[in-house]
Amino acid sequence: EDDDLMAAWNGPQLNAYALDFLKHGQLGTIVHDNRVSAGRAWSLLFKWDLLLTSLASAVTKMQRSPDYAPTFSHLSKRFRLKFRALSEQG
């Protein structure tokens, strides 16, 4: 079933770009490994930054904050620091 979905996808084959960026923080590597433009890679990372920030906020604000709430907050902060550093390189 997953193979059928991938066969229908006409876009670039993206790997774990968000995790890779979190590990090394290098836009050039994301561009090369995923064969996307720098602008597209930046846009994808920006969306991940917003998503992680929203998830961390939502999980933290839950009435019974789950045990994994600090993990989301930590992950969100780590990603944001790397993304801000990338954005400042301009």
- For 23-64, write each residue's pLDDT tens digit: 999 999 999 988 889 999 999 999 999 999 999 999 888 878
Question: How does 35-45 read in b/e, with b if 16+ C-beta sit within 10 Å?
Answer: ebeeebbbebb
Give Cα 39 distance to the centre of its chain. 15
Percentage with pLDDT > 90 across the chain: 52
Contact predicate 80/53, CB 8 Å = yes
- Neighbour tally for 72: CB within 10 Å: 19
Distance CA 90, CA 72 (A): 27
- Predicted model pTM: 0.77
